[in-house]
Amino acid sequence: MRRFGRAAGILAFALLLILNAGVAQACPVCYGASDSAMAGGVNNAVFLMLGIIVLVQIGFAALFWTFWRRSKEIRQRREKFRLVTGFER
């Protein structure tokens, strides 16, 4: 009985979306005026999100570059040490 109620609720929600499709497709860029303030705001939001993604990727690149540089320095320090042989106790 409980599953029937959940399925009925999902079906009613889907039916509401189908009957009210005009509101669901109210994209300001696709269906509105392309020079409206809302379309400009959507475009600015898209560019902001792309900028955040670019900054995060730059951060990852800087992190891995730092790891590579530190490992190179550690390898050079290890190569400077020489094992002294011939001294046995």
Return the pLDDT at 45: 92
Domains in the chain: how many in total? 2
Residues 46 and 73 in one domain: yes
78 — pLDDT class (breaks 50, 70, 90)? confident
Residue appearing with tokens 């400009």: 40
- In this structure, of 5-9, 26-30, 79-83, the range with the lowest mean pLDDT score is 26-30
Region 37-49: mean pLDDT is 87
Residues 28 and 41 in one domain: no
Phi and psi based region of residue 33 (left: phi greater than 0; alpha: psi -120 to 50; beta: remaining): beta
Region 52-61: mean pLDDT is 97
Query: Which of residues 70 and 9 earns the better pLDDT score?
Result: 70
Distance between CA atoms of residues 11 and 20, nearest Å: 14
Domain holding 21, by residue range, is 1-32
Residues 55 and 65 in one domain: yes
Return the pLDDT at 63: 97
Return the pLDDT at 39: 77
Return the pLDDT at 1: 55
